[in-house]
Chain A
Amino acid sequence: MDIFLQQIINGVVQGSIYALVALGYTMVYGIMGLINFAHGEVVMIGTLVTITVAGLLAAAGLPPILAGLGGLIAAVLCCMALGWGLERVAYRPLRNAPRLTPLITAIGMSIVLQNVAMIAWGRNYLTFPAFLPKANFEVAGAHFTAIQLFIVIVAAATMAGLMLLIYRTKLGMAMRATAQNPAVASLMGVNIDRVIAAAFVIGSALGAVAGVMVGTYYEIAHYQMGFMLGLKAFTAAVLGGIGNLAGAMAGGVLLGIIEALGAGYIGSLTGDFLGSHYQDIFAFVVLIVVLMFKPSGLFGEKTGDRA
């Protein structure tokens, strides 16, 4: 029982990170029908920028928590600029191209960003600085750390902020209207280019926050870390119903829990033939099962015909 509870806690923490990243995929898809496969790399850049900036701030004598906060702010700003630039340079010129073209471009941008990061930060694993005290808590036999608590609280607050933006502001209403009918939204005076740019910028900001969480959680970072994380978050978005914000959040948390339970029990289920390092299997089994039996996802309104 305590293994079960423990894995649920681990799953919710990992799932909160997936959820934040999945929101970036789903926002862009909802508005323009594009899977931005470079989004995982935006998250990676967020992590690496945090390491650099927080390192500089710490060297300048700031206490760890402030250095971390400075790193977070720098990562959010950098990723927002990166998301804006990606849309402008890579996707806007292809707005009227066949669906496959921007998809291939997205994969290309993902490779470009990985290589830029490799040149800038090197090939080696980097240590992510510790900003938070290593406190431990225990509830009903299950343990969790201050870092895990921090991740879940920040993720929840960030997502609540996003919901307020989307459902309570004029920009949010314009974004929802554009997702539903861009031509008519334009008739209402909405500048579609700006709304699309906003989706990229906001999604990238969420990705930056997720990047800091990943770094804080695993304490290492690498220029290729965005690839698998991006695929998992994409799976979460599909699981929830791509294009659907609530679906991305639920799909993220659910995927995190499925993975954690899978990793926790795979050993005893296979007589120790497979170990917990096979946990990546579960995300992709989920992806295949969803695509086979419910391609619109748990919350999707209709089966999308989009690439």
Chain B
Amino acid sequence: MLEVTGLRVAYGGIQAVRSITFHVGEGETVALIGANGAGKTSTLKAVARVLDAAGGDVHFRGEKISAIAPHDVIRKGMALVPEGRGVFPRLTVRENLRMGAFIRDDAVDIDKDLKTIYGYFPRLLERESQLAGTLSGGEQQMLAIGRALMSRPQMLLLDEPSMGLAPIMVQKIFEVIRAVAADGMTVLLVEQNAKLALESSQRAYVMESGEITLNGDSAALLDDPKVRAAYLGE
């Protein structure tokens, strides 16, 4: 579904991502793990066209998307849940979700999908007329994921969904991510919490200083002594 070849990202003269190649198959959940500053978020942003790559190609569902306008990415079926959640603080919860469906015009189905999202996250229904800026961090993360799903994407890109959240919230959010993935959604997950990411994915890539240094089945990586030493704190 997603083919990334030789992707490079640079900020000024500094190479954040040095020619990485990876792929995500249809229906797969793939994790991208690594330490802070390894280039995970830059990779995700370049894939979703939030920032311009310095080189390389991104193909999504057979189509090259590395040069399309940023606002057209979601129309191709790829939705990014940005790092730090990026909810619209002075829009209500409901309006935020409606913004997620901005590219759609099917009012009836949008209402149906709103109900589905409220089914995943009942907390959002309780707070649907509240301004998103008044939500807790965990609720904002729920909202950001729900908003991305409102576009009916083929693929979901998640950037650090556990960041800054209480463990109980992290559990709830990953339950939903797994449920969405089990329904057939293709997921690319960037996470610093390597254990959580490996437990929630089928395959994973390990990034270090802008390069992919390891990859394989998540279950195998969980048992890999190098991974255990570097990322699981053992």
* Chain A residues at the B interface, C-beta cutoff of 8 Å: 170, 173-174, 176-177, 180-181, 183-192, 301
A187 touches which one: B48, B91, B95, B98 (CB < 8 A)?
A: B48
Q: Which residues of B contact A186 (CB under 8 A)?
A: 50, 70-71
Q: Which residues of B contact A192 (CB under 8 A)?
A: 71
Interface residues of B in 178-204 (CB under 8 A from A): none
Q: Which residues of A contact B147 (CB under 8 A)?
A: 188
What distance in Å separates the Cβ of A297 from its nearest Cβ neighbour in chain B?
Answer: 16
Q: Which residues of B contact A187 (CB under 8 A)?
A: 48, 50, 70-71, 73-74, 79-80, 82, 86
What distance in Å separates the Cβ of B127 from its nearest Cβ neighbour in chain A?
Answer: 18
Q: Are B69's CB and A188's CB within 8 A?
A: no
B102 at the interface (CB under 8 A from A): yes
What distance in Å separates the Cβ of A165 from its nearest Cβ neighbour in chain B?
Answer: 15
Q: Are A189's CB and B102's CB within 8 A?
A: yes
Q: A177-B91, A191-B71 are in contact. Are A183 and B86 (CB under 8 A)?
A: yes
Q: Are A184's CB and B71's CB within 8 A?
A: no
* Chain B residues at the A interface, C-beta cutoff of 8 Å: 48, 50, 69-75, 79-80, 82, 86-91, 95, 98-100, 102-103, 147, 151
Q: A186-B71, A189-B102 are in contact. Are A180 and B89 (CB under 8 A)?
A: yes
What distance in Å separates the Cβ of A280 from its nearest Cβ neighbour in chain B?
Answer: 35
Measured CB to CB, the nearest residue on chain B to A189 is: B103
Q: Which residues of B contact A170 (CB under 8 A)?
A: 102
Find the residue from B48, B69, B71, B90 having the highest chain A CB count within 10 A.
B71
Majority secondary structure of chain A interface residues (helix, strand, loop or mixed): helix
Q: Are A177's CB and B70's CB within 8 A?
A: no
Measured CB to CB, the nearest residue on chain A to B104 is: A189
Q: Which residues of A contact B91 (CB under 8 A)?
A: 173, 176-177, 180
**Bound Cα distance from A180 to B74, whole angstroms:** 19
What distance in Å separates the Cβ of A67 from its nearest Cβ neighbour in chain B?
Answer: 41
What distance in Å separates the Cβ of A129 from its nearest Cβ neighbour in chain B?
Answer: 44
What distance in Å separates the Cβ of A249 from its nearest Cβ neighbour in chain B?
Answer: 17
Q: Are A188's CB and B151's CB within 8 A?
A: yes
Measured CB to CB, the nearest residue on chain B to A167 is: B95
Q: Which residues of A contact B80 (CB under 8 A)?
A: 187
Q: Are B50's CB and A183's CB within 8 A?
A: yes
**Bound Cα distance from A305 to B80, whole angstroms:** 29
What distance in Å separates the Cβ of A33 from its nearest Cβ neighbour in chain B?
Answer: 16
What distance in Å separates the Cβ of A159 from its nearest Cβ neighbour in chain B?
Answer: 20
**Bound Cα distance from A173 to B92, whole angstroms:** 11
Measured CB to CB, the nearest residue on chain B to A192 is: B71
**Bound Cα distance from A177 to B82, whole angstroms:** 15
Q: Which residues of A contact B50 (CB under 8 A)?
A: 183, 186-187
Q: Which residues of A contact B75 (CB under 8 A)?
A: 189
A176 touches which one: B71, B79, B88 (CB < 8 A)?
A: B88
**Bound Cα distance from A190 to B88, whole angstroms:** 13
Q: Which residues of B contact A191 (CB under 8 A)?
A: 69, 71
Q: Which residues of A contact B82 (CB under 8 A)?
A: 183-184, 187
20 sample A-B contacts, Cβ–Cβ < 8 Å, listed by A number: A174-B99, A176-B88, A176-B95, A180-B88, A180-B91, A181-B88, A184-B86, A184-B88, A185-B88, A186-B71, A187-B48, A188-B71, A188-B147, A188-B151, A189-B71, A189-B74, A189-B102, A190-B71, A190-B102, A192-B71
What distance in Å separates the Cβ of A26 from its nearest Cβ neighbour in chain B?
Answer: 15
**Bound Cα distance from A181 to B147, whole angstroms:** 14
Find the residue from B48, B50, B99, B151 having the highest chain A CB count within 10 A.
B99
Q: Which residues of A contact B89 (CB under 8 A)?
A: 180
Q: Which residues of A contact B86 (CB under 8 A)?
A: 181, 183-184, 187
Q: Are A173's CB and B71's CB within 8 A?
A: no
**Bound Cα distance from A190 to B74, whole angstroms:** 10
What distance in Å separates the Cβ of A94 from its nearest Cβ neighbour in chain B?
Answer: 19
Measured CB to CB, the nearest residue on chain A to B100 is: A188
